[in-house]
Structure 1
Amino acid sequence: MIQNYIKIARRNLLMNKTFSVINIVGLAISLASFILIALYVTDELRYDQHHKYADRIYRINSDLVIGGTDLHLATSSDPMGPTLKAEYPEVEEFVRFYNSSGGRLIKKKEQFIHESKIAYADSTLFRVFTIPLVAGETSNALNKPNTVVISESVAKRYFGTVDVVGKSIETNNAKESPYKITAVFEDMPRTSHFQFDFIFSMHNVNYPWNSFLSHNFHTYVLLADGTNVASFDRNFAQVIQKHILPQARQLMDINSMEDFERSGNRIHYSLMPLQDIHLHSDRYPELGVNGDVQYVRIFSFIAIFVLLLAYVNFMNLSTARSATRAKEVGVRKVLGSKKKWLVTQFLTESMLMVCLAFFLAIALAALFLNYFNSIAGKELAFTDLFSPSFLSLLLLFTLLVGGLAGIYPALVLSRFKPVSVLKGKIDGGFRRSKFRSSLVVFQFLTSVVLVAGTMVVYQQINFIQNKKVGFDKEHVLVVKGTQALGANAESFRHSVSQLQDVQSSSFARFLPVANSDRNDNAFSKDPVMNESNSFNAQRWDIDYDYIPTLAMEILQGRNFSRAYGSDSTGILINESAAKVLGYANPIGQKVYMPYDDGQSIAYTVVGVVKNFHFESLRQQVGPLLMRLGNNRSAAAFRVSSNNLQQFIGQVEEEWKARSPALPFSYHFLDESFDAMYRVEQQVGKLAISFSFLAVFIACLGLFGLTTFIVEQRIKEIGIRKVLGASISGILVMISKDFVRLVLIAIVIGTPLTWWAMNKWLEDFAYRIDIEWWMFAVAGLLAVIIALTTVSYQAIRAATANPVNSLRDE
């Protein structure tokens, strides 16, 4: 019996090649899209799950509000971890990472290589995180100064083998002793929120230890099994009273934390689950580039809707063929075929098409995997696509949904009355089928939402890239690691500045882009700091030429000048800092910065800089104070060259003339700025790709419904033509029902899209206003697409010979 069902199903598919191809291809495209998005989502969801104690590892987050400045940090103080372990038995272990020093220059033979994936960590690292070793032992790794553990790939790159335990590596710092390699670990999985190749001993960090008021360490704790995290979080209040308040009193006049908080200030700590960091943390500074759970949800919905669109088409195209199957059903029923046999027959045909679409979808997903990786910023491999577990679940899901999609056409076809169908008549019609009309509305509702949403995303990205950010990011070359030149750093900058294409230059450790150095400090308006006069702000050390090199604007006062010897205690502030200080004219006013010994240094405000965005446009511009300093970790050059490659070659020559062993590393400031919004750019590309697919699949559905209605009304069209109806009149008659449904989709989709995109834009402190024309364009596009799709079948029916339409066999 089953063999017979399959044979008949195969014959029907071959006999109706056009419908079969459209159905299978439409299903395959939607399934391929679903597969790729499913790979993306599962990859995002499995971050940090490879650690043995992943469900018991938490990071300590810090939330500080001081003087109106609000900081949400992924870091905490250096004694926080040791204190929690010593005083609370729920903490089995802790580990800290310190990586604020940026990259390091590591010596390989006679050359130095700039390595950026470095950190310092406690010897407890391997007791908290699961990082398998390929050489060495965890018991003595990092427990002494001048020790280091390295990744397997680094060991092979520097030494050609992993058997390097006991060997040493050198940095460019002549004052440092060589670091002894105590272990080699497997390369960290791609699905880890931190990626390190070199992990140095925490004993080598030059830091003012035991300060609860400085937050520069990523601290993780391993809690005992069964610990109530919500209850444990309340212990931080005790830590603040016992340890932080006494240190705070040394710097400011503060009676109690209650007084501190009544002044609008706040210090709060909380535990964040390790497995939530990648998708749910947008704090500063992160150890890597995190994802966003919002985008995971968005693409999950897109995947589901694209798949639903395809199955809606499947039902529409299947029922569109009902007129051609009417006599077959009638004959089968007259010969005694039962309804369940007919349902089984049509379900077999549906499942056969679904299975063919499944295998085609796998091939399409494999074919477009590299393209998907390029626009999604992923490194998904073919092994991910063809893993037995993923394929099994996908096949089971496909068969399940395929069965659900096929049951409706099967029931529709099997319920035809023999007397009616043997005359070639089918009860009901398109206009009377609310279910079928709802499917069309759903198809174009999804299309309108995706098209309008994509336009909003692209408008926001365009706004970000073209917004005036308070500095000129174009044509600024940044040369990294200039501090490695030592005494030659100044001569390098001077020589490059003499090149014809250089307009100005500056040593620039701090830059207004992501992944640049940052430095938070507490300041006060008075010599004695208290809860009412203190505020927190960024403190950058710059030189005399920083402001003109970055093309920033001085609104009040002046820039630092070599003509003023007093500028060593001068300070520039931005508009946000001026607002926090509250002075009508801040020029000449004093700002005080306390030190750990309880003393403070007074700075005089010499100028107010127009606000510039030094973080993402997702955040408001915070207060910033800039003082004169000599930080030579990077040099910035404003250039006007038309031949940048030639200019870069000249700069590299100046570098090599001073230190041929040191690597020459550079980037342009606008590239770093664009990198801050790479996730949004990837979302835009993905959105437009899947919007196109959704529209294409919706067109297939309309094609099927048009075929269905034309077949139902073929005799009506013939009679109208005999009575003198024009082709345009028949075209309008057939098209108006579809246009009405598309207009309903637009009416429903417009407020839905407006609400969804407003929620997305809430993440940006600076954002566009959603304009009416975005929805008008999306709606007009939907109407045009619908009319274009319908017109083909409508014109074909309108131009057909009415004699053929009216013939009754």
Structure 2
Amino acid sequence: MIDLTMMNTNFLRQISRQIRRHPLFYGLNLLGLGLGIACAFVLLSYVRQEWSYDRSIPDGEQIYRIGTNFMDMGGFAISQEKLQPVLQEKCQAVAYATRFRGSSGFTFEADQQTFPVDAGLYVDTNFFRVFPYEFIEGQAGDALVTPDQIVLTEEVAQRIFGTGPYLGKTLSLKDEKSTFSVAGIVRPFPGKTHLPAGAWLSVAPQLSDDRSWTSARYYTYVKLNSQSDKGNLEDFFAQLQREEIHPQSAPNTSFETWIGGSQAVHFYVQPLQEIYLYSDLNMDLISGGNPTQVWILGIIGVFILLMAGVNYVNLSTATASARAKEIGIKKTMGANQSQLIVQFLGESLTLSLLAMVVAGSLSGLLLKLLETVSGEVLLSSILDGTPQWLLLLGFSVLTGLLAGAYPAFHLSRFQPVWALKSDSMGHRKGHLRNVLVVFQFSIAAALMIGSLVIFRQLSYMQNSDKGFQHDNVLVIRNFNDLGTKKETLREMVEQNSQVVTTSINSRMPAGYNLWRATYQSETMDQAISLNGFPIDEHYLSAMDIKLLEGRNFSGDLATDTSNVILNESAVKALELEEPIGAVLNDDRRVIGVVSDFNFESFRNQIAPIVFNYDVDGYQLAIKLTGNDLPGFVRHLEDSWSQLAGDEKIRYYFLDDNLAELSAKEAVLSRAIGIFTVLALFIACLGLFGLTTHATSRRAKEIGVRKVLGATVSQIVVLLSRDFLSLVALAFAIGIPVAWILVNKWLQGFVYRIDLNWWMFAAPAIAGVVIAFLTLSYQSVSAALNNPAEVLKDE
């Protein structure tokens, strides 16, 4: 009997011996597992981050945001100013209700130095009761009880004041005379949140006595009592609509008519932990996540890891004959199945730990590549601390155990008599290996097709005719800040030779502003809510929007302030057979009709638009030739500084805003493209290893065939035929699966590409060619071997 204890102590020596005997197979396994673990770890870390938003907030499951909708304007993340007092006083389900406003950030001054803070909020005294931050200094009940108080995070306080304590220290907002006293220092929540902030100021000075239910300015959040749930809150809103809002808004109309019409006020109750991923309301504080993207990338990560595991299983079982005698001898000497299972699992675990080191090196590079290609920071960090390394360790150990389970049980079941007949072993599980190869390339096929379709849809969204000219259009967002100097800046801008025309307006395609109003034609029974675009007479020419009927606005006609221009969709919505000259709302005459254009995402149907004449808009659109955009920007900034002093100009290019409408699709397209290449590479690694094994096993057969006159091309076809048929079968399976998935994804777009046969044929042909090239290397090498060297031992 062998000493099994000694066998265990010599475990690492045995593994190193195996690696020296089979360096190619262990190298392929190490590279495949390392790359698979790195891909899966990065993608699943991204999924974990996206799902973690707001989940570290204590009692987060009891916190809800209240959104609103009125006049059919669409849902808003903000709600009415009067809503918070109503909820706090009248809703028994609510423990605390808070209202606050967002801020793009603050710039503070202290000790004659400036300190920018990227994010901040104007909040009321209930904010820290709804969101229970840990106060390091001060108390939640004493924070922001007066307008001259401020609460800071510990990190911001250290940056501004240095060492603490900080209570009572003062600072001011840049360009303002108000001084604030520090009333609290808090520790941020450990996880991600859709309400990031480094400073909190009092919202009290901004509050008014607005009692309207059709005016939304504030974010409203509530924390429910422990005995209450979302249903109790929704019941309260139903009662509020019937007993208070309806009598105030439409006392002469029945509740049923009002609640079903465009004048009704509705509320949305959103669980805190679902806001980041699932909210589709307008005017959110930050750009939310994309659940489709999260699911797709998470599934890709799992499948890539499975592909790497399949490689391990395939290569381990394919080389079983090489270890058959070892297994037979150990069993003859007394080793039982469980001991052999431990040995093989140990080998798999050791390999996965080595792969972890490879994955640790690759994951950072992979994340950097992904963020560089996508242009977006998908993960805030990876492997930058002990918890992340421990997570990677656990991930790798689990991968090693799962990947090694089948080979361990398969190899340990060899009977000594079979095992010692080495030539009879190693090929018994060929059918399983074939199934696994088909599985791998089916995934690769679906990824290749999906990547192509998403890329084509993205290209369509970016390059198709949107119905207006958006190139080289710069928009000054805070044009209204100049007050009486607006026209002066406009004249200075128009003196630049690059300026084609300018337009004062209050709304641009893909812009930040939303205008809605109700309109009713003479033939309609009820008014409907439509999009409004307040523009001047230069807007249509600046945007190159096609005028189909009638005329444009004129600065020489004072009556145009009561006239409107419609797009084609508005003509249909208002049921106008002869739109020119039609009267809306008893005093609005239609003077023109323009063609429809895509001013929102391609996911949305082109909506009806009513253009109103307004020369007092608060932003300025500048159409440029595009010859020297940096030079014009410098000219613009110089002109602005002459008029506005320290007030910074805020502008954007219209192209950039339009790109944001398809930004999530762009990130998804590039991410899937990267991981499709990596998945195909992993699949080809396994195919290369199996081909190497197959050519080695059939070396004598190849030698005999060459002696009998077989050509190199005939031998290559012989060795590649079986594997290529598996790859072709994989694409035959992957194509219909991919069609179902991409077709479902495309249904989310109103304007989308058509699925053509070549979108499926091209990836299939490319996949087969790549597989053939992978197979050909070993096949050609085997075919070129000297048959005398191969057959000399016979």
TM-score (norm 2): 0.90
Aligned mate of 1:700, from 660, 682, 685: 685
Select 1:518's aligned residue among 506, 509, 514: 514
Give me the CA root mean square deviation.
3.3
CA displacement, residues 253-277 of structure 1 (integer Å, 9 cap, x when unaligned)? x522323456698754331110101
Cα 1:133/1:400, change in 2 over 3 Å: closer
Question: Displacement, 1:546?
Answer: 2.3
SS at match of 2:530: strand
SS at match of 1:234: helix
Maintained 8 Å contact 1:326/1:426: no
Say whether residues 1:438 and 2:435 are aligned partners.
Answer: yes
Cα distance in 2, alignment partners of residues 727 and 6 from structure 1: 42
Matched, 1:800 2:793: no
Q: Which deviates more, 766-775 or 538-547? A: 538-547
Contact preservation (8 Å) 2:152, 2:200: yes
- Once the two structures are superposed, the pairs formed by residues 177-216 of structure 1 within 5 Å of their partners are 178=178, 180=180, 183=183, 191-196=192-197, 201-205=202-206, 209-216=210-217
Alignment of 1:277-676 (within 5 A): 277-375=275-373, 377-378=376-377, 380=379, 384-416=382-414, 418=416, 422=420, 424-427=422-425, 429=427, 433-514=430-511, 516-525=512-521, 532-592=525-585, 602-676=587-661
Kindly provide the CA deviation profile for residues 582-631 of structure 1, in whole angstroms up to 9, marking residues without a partner as x.
11122233333xxxxxxxx8322222232233322222222332323344
- Change beyond 3 A, Cα 1:286–1:263: closer
Q: Match of 1:759?
A: 744
Are the counterparts in 2 of residues 107 and 172 from structure 1 also a CA contact under 8 Å?
no
Name the SS for the 1:58 alignment partner: strand
In structure 2, C-alpha distance between the alignment counterparts of 1:584 and 1:626, rounded to whole Å: 19
Q: Distance in 2 between matches of 1:616 and 1:490?
A: 33
Q: Deviations over 1:310-369 (max 9, x none)?
A: 011011122232233333334444545444443333333222211111122122223444
Q: 2:270 aligns with which of 247, 267, 272?
A: 272
- The farther-off stretch of 782-791 and 627-636 is 627-636
Q: Retained in 2: the 8 A contact 1:319–1:708?
A: no
Q: In structure 2, give the amino acid aligned to 1:523.
A: Y
How many pairs are equivalent?
Answer: 785
Q: Distance in 1 between matches of 2:422 and 2:223?
A: 73
Name the CA distance, whole Å, in 2 between partners of 1:541 and 1:160. 49
Contact 1:135 1:165 in 2 (8 A): no
Query: Quick check: 761-770 or 306-315, which moved more?
Result: 761-770
Paired residue type of 1:243: E
Equivalent residue, structure 2, for 1:5: 11
- Picking from 655, 673, 681, the partner of 1:688 is 673
Gapped regions of structure 1 (runs ≥ 5) = 593-600
Secondary structure, aligned partner of 1:242: helix
In 2, distance between residues paired with 1:477 and 1:289?
22
Q: Which residue of 1 aligns with 2:97?
A: 94
Q: Which has the larger displacement, 200-209 or 296-305?
A: 200-209
Q: Secondary structure at the match of 1:562?
A: coil
- Identify the residue that residue 254 of structure 2 maps to in structure 1: 256
Query: Which residue pairs with 1:238 in the alignment?
Result: 239
Q: Which amino acid aligns with 1:37?
A: L
Structure 1 residue 80 displacement after superposition:
2.8
Q: CA deviation at 1:138?
A: 4.0
Residue of structure 1 equivalent to 2:223? 222
- Supply the distance in 1 between the matched residues of 2:135 and 2:608 (Cα, whole angstroms): 45
Answering whether residue 122 of structure 2 is matched by residue 124 of structure 1, we say no
**Aligned AA for 2:124?**
D
Q: C-alpha distance in 1, partners of 2:151/2:83?
A: 24
1:16 aligns with 2:16: no
- Cα deviation for residue 473 of structure 1 reads 1.4
**Conserved 8 A contact 1:60-1:74:** yes
Measured after TM superposition, the shift of residue 161 of structure 1 is: 8.7
CA distance in structure 1 between the partners assigned to 2:604 and 2:106 by the alignment: 30
Secondary structure of the equivalent of 1:217? strand
41 and 225 in structure 1: CA distance in 2 versus 1, 3 angstrom threshold: same
| Identical pairs, percent | 33
| Cα distance change on mapping 1:776 and 1:265 into 2, 3 Å | farther
Closer/same/farther in 2, CA of residues 107 and 510 from structure 1, 3 Å limit: farther
TM superposition shift of 1:172: 6.6
Map Cα deviations across residues 648-673 of structure 1 (whole Å, 9 max, x no partner).
Answer: 22222211222332223332111122
Deviation of 1:401 after TM superposition, in Å, equals 3.0
What is the CA distance between 1:198 and its match in structure 2?
Answer: 6.1
How many angstroms apart in 2 are the aligned matches of 1:134 and 1:353?
Answer: 47
Deviation at 1:89, TM superposition (A): 1.0
Query: CA separation in 2, counterparts of 1:366 and 1:102?
Result: 31
Cα distance 1:407–1:801, how it changes in 2: closer, same or farther (>3 A)? farther
Letter of the structure 2 residue corresponding to residue 552 of structure 1: I
Amino acid at match of 1:495: M
Deviation sequence 1:550-607 (CA, Å, 0-9, x none): 2222222222211211012222333222222111122233333xxxxxxxx8322222
| Letter of the structure 1 residue corresponding to residue 628 of structure 2 | N
- The whole-number CA distance in structure 1 between the counterparts of 2:614 and 2:271 is 39
Residues 621/140 of structure 1: CA separation in 2 closer, same or farther (3 Å cut): farther
Cα 1:329–1:403 shift into 2, 3 Å: same
Partner of 1:597: none
Looking at structure 2, the residues matched to 171 and 589 of structure 1 have their Cα atoms a distance apart, in angstroms, of 52
Check conservation: 1:641, 1:647, Cα contact below 8 A: no
Is the alpha carbon distance of 1:641 and 1:123 closer, same or farther for their aligned partners in structure 2, counting shifts above 3 Å?
same
Uncovered stretches (5+) of structure 2, i.e. residues with no partner: none
1:285-311 CA-partner distances (Å, limit 9, x unpaired): 211110012211111111111101001
Q: 1:44 aligns with which of 50, 63, 80?
A: 50
**Aligned in 2, Cα 1:643/1:107: closer, same or farther, shift over 3 Å?**
farther
SS at match of 1:750: helix
Summarize the alignment of residues 127-166 of structure 1 with structure 2, pairs less than 5 Å apart: 127-131=129-133, 138-139=140-141, 141-144=143-146, 163=166
Q: TM-score, normalised by structure 1?
A: 0.88
